[in-house]
Amino acid sequence: MGVSIFDRLYKDNLDSKNILTHYQLSTQLNGRIYDPGYYFNKENTNRDNALDLLLLTQGWRRYVWNESNLKEESIFFKTLLTDNITGNLRLENQNKKAPDLTPKIVMIFTADPLKGQDIFTTDSTGMFNVNSGHFKMSERAYMYLKPMTPEKPKYVINIRDDAFQTINFNRKDRTENYPLLKLQKEQVNHPEKTFTQLYDVQKLNAVVIATKKEKVFRDKYLGTLDSLAKLNTGNSDFVCLAGGSGRPILNCFMNNHHQGKTRSPVEGEKVTVLLGKNREVLGADYPHQDYFGTREIVYKDPNQNLTEEELLKRFNLKMIKGFYGKREFYQAVYDQVNINDPFPDFRNTLFWKPDVITNEQGEAIIEFYCSDINTIFMGTIEGVSETGLLGTENFKFKVRNSKI
């Protein structure tokens, strides 16, 4: 059962939707139904006749719901989302011929080693699924996927995670059956305020706000990868001074320019790169005849100040989100420490729990503390039995401060 207890001030009389109206009426008819709760309110003596008229307007003549009807209806419903994410392990350079690598293995893990890891194989085409068990392993955290393949030829992982795109695309064809209030915008004419200029004020042309805070990653594991990248001493970049002009050339392949006299480039300095015929940047191992022109760039150390995407690419990883753990609704707890807290409790919602489970007799006990608001509180209970029967009930009670 789902139970909610709230201030009657927030009871919307125009919103008569509940679990009965949703599953037994709104989802079975086309279009938006005005006041669907009317047909389920026992105080309305003519609700049965009104319901017949409503069904007749959409061509209903006889409503029989059995197992055969369910099987026929299931044909027209297509599952939009699943609890799996599909991935593909393939060669980075798709023009190369893939070696006979069977099986292809992928490792999935989180930044917390205590949450474990898993290794699974792909099918013959490199396809694999990240299932719900993997997501539970990474509650409120990120997961990382790494191909367990040889370094050459390099394999990379592609992930298809388009759940939100699927939802937004299919929303276009769905009818909203939730009663939406038509808010009227009140037009108020405000007098125009004129700015009064003060002569004894010093004006600033511009204000620049800067921070010295270090780069913060979404996950601590990325910070670890960033530290490992900075410790990498495999940077072979160098610059030379071309022809005594004082212009540093990055990774110059023309030995007559520097004659072996080089230095390491400095992060952020302007350097000249040599371009090939297709405007690609040439390195020290390119032949001289491919030289076409130059271009000036700002040097960036390949192991410093990497973005999250660059870090993941450097270590050949894919990052996906895990399950977001359920959050429990806040409930005040008054014990001997805070029972005499002078600060008033102005909670408008006293209790909200969508997963109350009954015992074998169908009974459940809930406990909650009232707030300091003297008002009438409304309660709503909606539930479903083990056989699929639906039910709803409302109640109310008044809270009164005994000290007044």
User: Which tens digits make up the pLDDT trace of 91-105?
Assistant: 888 777 777 777 889
The answer on pLDDT for 256 being more than 60 is no
| β-bridge partners, 319 | 144
pLDDT at 241: 72
Residues constituting the chain: 404
Residue 315's nearest CA partner among 137, 157, 95, 139 is 157
Strands of the sheet containing 376-384, edge to edge, are 349-353, 2-7, 376-384, 390-398
For residue 359, what are the CA distances in angstroms to 217, 356, 364?
46, 10, 6
| β-bridge partners, 128 | 87
- HSE, side-chain direction, 13 A CA sphere, residue 198: 4
Retrieve residue 84's tokens: 């799996």
Residue predicted with more confidence, 259 or 164: 164
How far from chain centre, in Å, is Cα 215? Answer: 22
* Average pLDDT rounded to a whole number, residues 277-282: 68
Q: CA–CA separation, 266 vs 388, rounded Å? A: 70
* Average pLDDT rounded to a whole number, residues 15-36: 86
- Signed CA dihedral, 358, 361, 362, 366: sign only: negative
SS3 content of the chain, % helix, strand, coil (to 5): 20, 20, 60
CB contact burial 228-265 (16+ within 10 A = b; e otherwise): ebeeeeeeebbbbbbeeeeebbbbbbeeebbeeebeeb
Q: What is the mean pLDDT of the chain?
A: 81
pLDDT at 277: 67
Q: Where are the domains of the chain?
A: 2-75+328-398, 85-165+309-321, 239-301
| β-bridge partners, 244 | none
Residue predicted with more confidence, 240 or 4: 4
* CB neighbour list of residue 201: distance below 8 Å, 6 or more residues apart: none
Q: CA–CA separation, 36 vs 20, rounded Å? A: 9
Please name the helix (run of DSSP H) or strand (run of DSSP E) that holds residue 20, with its range, or none. Answer: helix 19-24
* Average pLDDT rounded to a whole number, residues 186-209: 68
**Range of weakest confidence among 278-292, 318-332, 337-351:** 278-292
For residue 373, what are the CA distances in angstroms to 63, 329, 350, 365, 404?
47, 19, 11, 24, 12
Residue 11's nearest CA partner among 382, 383, 391, 375 is 375
pTM: 0.58
Question: Using one digit for the tens of pLDDT, what is the confidence trace for 139-172?
Answer: 777 889 999 988 888 899 999 888 888 888 888 8
